[in-house]
Amino acid sequence: MQIDRRGLILSLISGFSIACQFCGQAAVAFPKRERRHSSDSDIGGASLTEGCASTEDGVVFFGAAGDNSNRPGVFASSGNPFWDHALGQEVNRSLKPIFGLNPDFCYFDDSTGGNAFATPERLIGNGQGTVALGMRLFNELIGKFLGSSSISIGDHAAVAVLAHEFGHVAQFNIGLPELPVQPRELHADYLSGWYMATRARQLMGFQQVNVMEAAQEMFDIGSFDFTNPSWHGTPQQRLVCFLSGVRSELMIKDVQSAFDSGRKFLGI
Residue ranges that bind Zn ion, judged by CB under 5 A = 60, 62, 185, 188
d(CA 161, CA 245): 14
In terms of CB distance, is 109 or 185 closer to Zn ion?
185
DSSP structure class, residue 234 = -
- Burial grade of 177 (CB within 10 A; 0-12, 13-18, 19 or more): exposed
CB of 222 vs Zn ion, minimal distance in Å:
12
Nearer to Zn ion by Cβ, of 199 and 238: the residue is 238
Residue 226 neighbours by CB under 8 Å, 6+ apart: none
Closer residue to Zn ion, CB minimum distance, 79 or 113:
113
Shortest distance (Å) from residue 154 CB to Zn ion: 19
Q: How far is the CB of 47 from Zn ion (least distance, A)?
A: 26
The 3-state DSSP class for residue 11 equals: helix
Backbone phi, psi, residue 178, to 5°: -60, 120
CB nearer to Zn ion: give 84 or 110: 110
Picking from 211, 117, 247, the residue whose alpha carbon sits closest to that of residue 172 is 117
The minimum distance between CB 188 and Zn ion, in angstroms, equals: 5
Q: End-to-end CA distance of the chain, in Å? A: 28
Output the CA–CA distances (angstroms, integers) from residue 113 to 64, 92, 254, in the order listed.
Answer: 10, 27, 34
Q: How far is residue 152's CA from residue 154's CA, in Å, rounded to a whole number?
A: 6
- Residue placing its CB nearer to Zn ion in the complex, 48 or 162: 162
Contact between residue 184 and residue 171 where contact means Cβ atoms under 8 Å apart: yes
Name the nearest CA neighbour of 248 among 179, 187, 184, 177: 187
Least distance (Å) between residue 131 CB and Zn ion: 11
Pick the closer one to Zn ion by CB: 62 or 206: 62
Considering the complex, what minimum distance in angstroms separates the CB of residue 28 from Zn ion?
28
